[in-house]
Amino acid sequence: MSTPVTSRPVPLAAPRPGVRHLGPNWYATVMGTAVVATAGAALPEWARGPREAYEAVWALAVLMLLALLAARAAHWIRHRDQARRHLGDPAVAPFYGCAAMAPLAVAGATLSVGPGVIGTGAAVVAGAVLWVAGTVLGLAAAAGVPHLMVTRHQVDPGSASPAWLLPVVAPMVSAAVGPALVAHLPAGQWREAMVLGCYALFGMSLLATLVILPGVFSRLVHHGPPPLAATPLLFLVLGPLGQSTTAVNNLADVAPGAVAAPYAGATVAFGVLYGVPVLGFALLWLVLAGAMVVRAFRRGMGFTMTWWAFTFPVGTCVTGAAGLAHHTGLRALAWLAVGLYVLLVAAWAVAGVRTLRGLLSGRLLAAPRPAQPVLPSARVRTT
């Protein structure tokens, strides 16, 4: 008599995570990669690395943007409920500013290093298409996200986050990238409209930043440091500071051939007189944010996608310092740009490796863990 064979149930493999939890914050990876190429090309000639390296990084940024656009399209088609939930979440919705800045960042890299790969004509066309798309998305985010915050989001007092800057800084990126297109427009009204339009984008982003930034600092002073995982977001404050400095100096380069003489000459003076104080404040904030990050590391801060905040904002300070060095001839500013670029490349390499590792393991695309209840408590000061 044969012994019956009993089969043990085979454990099912855990389902591989898909795109359901792929949020708009992932566009920061494209921004952080593209700015490595743009900032490298903006360095003083004596400090630039091999152009082929910048072209390779630009090509990587293009591939990342295409892959992410496809993944996000699948997210909206297959998981529309989750996409709408993201828009209704005050912690996630501001990252839709990254969806606008990603094509703008790739546009800037395309116009600066792309011609060496695909030719000037193709680079200008591609850069223009990306700039227009990013600018339209940026204006929608700059108006739409604050509208959601006012009308639909439940925002607790004292919860201001540096991420609130993301939607309103997108027009500033347009203002910084747009000058590269001016020389390819017909002389006269077209060029003048482009220059003055970029100044308008600069103004709307700057004034919106000035409205939000006091709330961010007030939250730090009255409620203490942010949670460990959110601490890198403090670097986002560098974005509008460095990008605005970049914008006014890039506009000063192209204004003489686009606007009337009395105004063209003033753009260079404005670029320096605005840029130097703002870059000084950016360095002050870099020290403050860096000290907060060191504190968070000592308390066990692990890797999250917020680490990409160490890349693009620092890159804007590189291009801002390089622009000031070009207009003033001050070598100290050139060395500042080089030092910041070294910091940018190091941060990009670390964030990139950790992100790739998290993608391969599936951890970064897994469902977020339920938030632990936070009991109200006052800050304890140690003596």
What is the pLDDT at residue 267?
94
Q: Contact 95/29 with Cβ under 8 angstroms?
A: no
Q: Could you read off the pLDDT of 77-106 as tens digits, one per residue?
A: 898 888 888 888 899 999 999 999 999 999
This model's pTM is above 0.85: yes
Q: Could you read off the pLDDT of 284-340 as tens digits, one per residue?
A: 999 999 999 999 999 999 999 999 999 999 999 999 999 999 999 999 999 999 999
Q: Which CATH superfamily hosts domain 24-362?
A: Voltage-dependent anion channel (1.50.10.150)
- The residues near 55 (Cβ < 8 Å, ≥ 6 apart) are 37, 113, 114, 116, 117
C-beta neighbour count of 24 within 10 angstroms: 24
Q: Could you read off the pLDDT of 50-82 as tens digits, one per residue?
A: 999 999 999 999 999 999 999 999 988 898 888
- Give 40-64 as a DSSP string: HHHS-GGG---HHHHHHHHHHHHHH
